[in-house]
Structure 1
Amino acid sequence: MSFIGLLSGAILFLLFGIFFLFLSLSTKRKWKIMVSRRVKNKKKRKRIKFLSHRLEKQKKKQFRTSLIFFFLVLLTAGSAAYSRYYQLTNLTADDADSLAKGYYFVGELEKQLKAIDNGANAEKTSKNMRDLSTQLTSVANRNASQGMSVEGQKMLNRHFTMTRNLGINISGQDAGKLEDPAYRESYLKDIQKVVTSQKKVFKEFDVNESALQQKK
Structure 2
Amino acid sequence: MSIIDWILVIGIALTIVALLGSAYFLVQILGAQQQIERLKNRRIKNKKKKRVVASKSQQLIKKRKRSLLLCLISLLLTGIFGGTSKYISHYQAMNLTTDDSESVVKGYYLLDDFEEQITIAKEKGDSEEKLQKNIRYLATAMASYGTKTASTTNSKEGQLILNRYYNAIKQIGMNASTQTKNFYGNTQVVDSFIEDIKRIQTYEKAAFSYYKVDESNLSQE
Say whether the 8 Å CA contact 1:123–1:175 is kept in structure 2: no
Alignment of 1:168-179 (within 5 A): 168-175=174-181, 177-179=183-185
Distance 1:80 1:51 in 2: 42
Q: Give a deviation string over 1:55-85, Cα, whole Å, max 9, x none.
A: 2222111111111111122222223333333
The one-letter code matched in structure 1 to 2:163 is N
Determine the structure 1 residue equivalent to 2:75.
70
Shift of 1:38: 6.9
Say whether the 8 Å CA contact 2:124–2:184 is kept in structure 1: no
Say whether the 8 Å CA contact 1:13–1:69 is kept in structure 2: yes
Distance 1:51 1:177 in 2: 94
Q: Percent identity?
A: 32
Say whether the 8 Å CA contact 1:123–1:174 is kept in structure 2: no
Distance 1:140 1:174 in 2: 19
Determine the structure 2 residue equivalent to 1:132.
138
Q: Quick check: 90-99 or 120-129, which moved more?
A: 90-99
Asked whether 1:54 is paired with 2:65, we answer no
User: Taking structure 1 as the reference length, what is the TM-score of the superposition?
Assistant: 0.83
Asked whether 1:27 is paired with 2:10, we answer no
Q: Give a deviation string over 1:160-200, Cα, whole Å, max 9, x none.
A: 11110111122223355322222222222222221221011
Say whether the 8 Å CA contact 1:159–1:198 is kept in structure 2: yes
Distance 2:132 2:21 in 1: 67
User: Taking structure 2 as the reference length, what is the TM-score of the superposition?
Assistant: 0.81
Say whether the 8 Å CA contact 2:26–2:68 is kept in structure 1: yes
Q: Quick check: 48-57 or 13-22, which moved more?
A: 48-57
RMSD over aligned CA atoms reads: 2.7
Distance 1:42 1:208 in 2: 82
Distance 1:161 1:67 in 2: 51
Distance 2:65 2:41 in 1: 19
Distance 2:182 2:83 in 1: 61
Counterpart selection for 1:166 from 163, 172, 175: 172
